[in-house]
């Protein structure tokens, strides 16, 4: 039987199709026999992982009582309730990592921003102001470095923005990473405690807009790298164990939009293009 190592001629024929080209490979072995091979997405394609549209348990069908009967009257009432339960606006979440801080601090209060960290936060505030967005809310982790970063950012934004503190956004170990890392190995108990807290934070802030929200909303979450990376994986329904494969710079901006139908769009990940290279750091 011929193997790939014995194939000596490959002719690629491109076939036009709506939305892109479909590739068909015609392979000849040394005996002149031809084999046709289609790309996997052209024939009987099935996604390896399907999107869970009710990930936030806010699908209209899950928020509406089932029909009592198949009568036209009940059908109409059910459809009216479904329509009222539908989300109508987009929720935009901007996840900001704090600036560089004093790693030698023995307590959280001593882990204040460095001079570079203050510059990073200031530059991020300037960048957010340039977006010309009407911000609805700033939520700050209660850790010192996040509090300082949020205050420096807020100086560049409207004075009337609502500000909240959230202990659930504190840094932690969300879930054992895959692959493991040799230099960072928290105790299993830490994953157990931090994971539940960070998961609860995700459920609090990541969901589609309620039906009574008519305008798009813009929320700033000023927190930490581990939390943000875990949130990104969860929001996109990627394996959450992969969170440590993502690197985030200090003062970086990650932008996630949750659409009315429950779809999630990652518009920016760890962006620091608003900083000159001399201001960029990650550890």
Mean pLDDT of 189-211: 95
Mean pLDDT of 216-245: 97
Q: What is the pLDDT of residues 267-276, one digit of tens each?
A: 999 999 999 9
Residue 49: phi, psi to the nearest 5? Answer: -135, 125
Say how far apart CA 94 and CA 222 lie, in whole Å.
8
pLDDT of 232 = 98
Is-contact 150 174, C-beta < 8 A?
no
Q: How many CB atoms lie within 10 A of CB 190?
A: 12
Task: Determine, yes or no, domain membership for 145.
Answer: yes
Is-contact 248 97, C-beta < 8 A?
yes
Pair 76, 204 in one domain: no
pLDDT of 21 = 46
Pair 224, 125 in one domain: yes
pLDDT of 258 = 98
Pair 191, 114 in one domain: yes
Residue 262 in this model has a pLDDT that exceeds 70:
yes
Task: Determine, yes or no, domain membership for 99.
Answer: yes
Give residue 30's pLDDT band: very low, low, confident or very high (50, 70, 90).
low
Pair 125, 152 in one domain: yes
Pair 74, 109 in one domain: no
Q: What is the b/e burial string over 105-117, where b = at least 16 CB atoms within 10 angstroms of the residue's CB?
A: eeeeeebbbbebb
- Top pLDDT among 7 and 138 is at 138
pLDDT of 275 = 97
pLDDT of 67 = 79
Number of structural domains (the chain) is 3
Nearest to 256 by CA among 58, 94, 52, 90: 94
Pair 82, 95 in one domain: no
- Which of 42-46, 188-192, 250-254 ranks highest by mean pLDDT? 250-254
Task: Determine, yes or no, domain membership for 244.
Answer: yes
Q: E strands within the chain?
A: 9-17, 20-28, 34-38, 91-97, 137-141, 162-166, 217-223, 253-258, 264-271
Q: Which residues contact 239 (CB under 8 A, 6 or more apart)?
A: 178, 233
Containing structural domain, residue 162: 91-279
Pair 28, 110 in one domain: no
Task: Determine, yes or no, domain membership for 76.
Answer: yes
Task: Determine, yes or no, domain membership for 47.
Answer: no
Pairing of strands 253-258, 91-97: antiparallel
Residue 144 in this model has a pLDDT that exceeds 90:
yes
Pair 133, 245 in one domain: yes
Say how far apart CA 63 and CA 16 lie, in whole Å.
43
Pair 130, 260 in one domain: yes
pLDDT of 261 = 96
């Amino acid at each position: 039987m011929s193997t790939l190592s014995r194939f000596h001629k490959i002719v690629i024929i491109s076939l036009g199709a709506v939305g892109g080209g479909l590739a068909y490979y015609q392979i000849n072995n040394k005996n002149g026999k031809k084999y046709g091979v289609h790309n996997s997405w052209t024939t009987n394609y099935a996604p390896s992982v399907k999107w869970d549209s009710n990930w936030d348990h806010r699908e209209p069908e899950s928020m509406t009582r089932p029909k009592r009967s198949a009568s036209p009257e009940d059908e109409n009432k059910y459809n009216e309730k479904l329509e009222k339960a539908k989300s109508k606006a987009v929720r935009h979440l901007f996840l900001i990592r704090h600036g560089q801080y004093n790693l030698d601090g023995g307590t959280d209060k001593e882990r204040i921003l460095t001079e570079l960290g203050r510059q990073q936060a200031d530059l991020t505030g300037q960048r957010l102001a340039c977006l010309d967005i009407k911000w609805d809310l700033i939520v700050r982790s209660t850790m010192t470095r996040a509090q300082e970063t949020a205050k420096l950012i807020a100086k560049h934004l409207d004075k009337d923005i609502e500000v909240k503190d959230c202990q659930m956004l504190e840094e932690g170990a969300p879930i054992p990473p895959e692959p493991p890392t040799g230099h960072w190995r928290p105790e299993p108990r830490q994953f157990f405690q931090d994971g539940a807290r960070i998961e609860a934070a995700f459920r609090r802030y990541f969901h589609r807009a309620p039906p009574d929200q008519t305008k798009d909303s813009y929320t700033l979450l000023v927190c930490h790298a581990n939390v943000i990376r875990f949130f990104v994986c969860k929001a996109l329904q990627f394996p959450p164990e992969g969170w440590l494969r993502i690197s985030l710079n200090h003062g970086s901006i990650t932008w996630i939009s949750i659409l009315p139908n429950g779809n999630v769009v990652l518009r920016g990940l760890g962006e620091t293009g608003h900083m000159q290279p001399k201001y960029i750091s990650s550890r």
